[in-house]
Copies of this chain bind each other. A is one copy, B any other.
Amino acid sequence: MKNIRYPNGKPAYQPEKISVKNRGIQTEKLVNEANEFYLNSGRAVIHKKPTPVQIVTVDYPKRSAARIKEAYFKTPSTTDYNGVYNERYIDFDVKETQSTTSFPLRNIHPHQINHLAAVHAQGGDAFILVAFARLERFYLLPYAVLSKFVFRSKTGRKSMTLEEFETHAYAIALGFQPTLNYLDTYDAWKKS
């Protein structure tokens, strides 16, 4: 990218430094905002699951809230988001890449693939939301499509190109209220 100087000294969109751990956290904010809007408007009931934590020590002080003094992060066994929309079970995870050309499939953990496969087999709607953060482009990628590229990655290319997203995924147009209206994209997918 060119080193352009902006009036306030910052480019219009400056993604925060995102560690491997926090990958997807910016896009998650947009998804959470959309979910809140969907919940309040009665369109859907979709929530982010809490971060799984292994609690080791808890203090119970008198007259105040229990305080967790020692705990560790656990590996989640599912995706982060699920819920119900229009009688359908919805299940997905949010992924973000800083690449402008491709999405590395190692961003998706094996337990997440297994979970999406199990949901798909049970007749639920499984997918991932992928953000090309620097391009501000967002896609809904159904599990059935994702699984083909995961299969390819076992012997071939370890990532999906932006062109492959343009061809095989559903682009999410940015809008107003909510910004990331991914259920409109979901509707387009289900009608296709």
User: Could you list which residues of chain A lie within 8 angstroms of chain B, going by C-beta atoms?
Assistant: 39, 42, 44-45, 47, 49-53, 55, 65-74, 76-78, 82-89, 91, 115, 118-119, 121-124
Contacts and interface: CB of A to CB of B under 8 A. Distances in A.
Given A89-B87, A122-B86, A123-B87, A73 B78 contact: no
A84 B47 contact: no
A78 B45 CA distance: 10
Nearest to A52: B50
A187 to B, nearest CB: 15
Contact of A118 (B45, B50, B74, B118): B45
B72 A71 contact: no
A142 B85 CA distance: 19
A65 B91 CA distance: 29
A90 to B, nearest CB: 8
A123 B71 contact: no
Given A67-B72, A68-B73, A89-B89, A84 B124 contact: yes
A81 B74 CA distance: 18
Contacts of A67: 70-72
Given A50-B51, A50-B52, A68-B73, 11 more contacts: A39-B118, A42-B121, A45-B122, A47-B77, A66-B72, A68-B70, A69-B69, A82-B82, A84-B91, A84-B124, A86-B122
A3 to B, nearest CB: 32
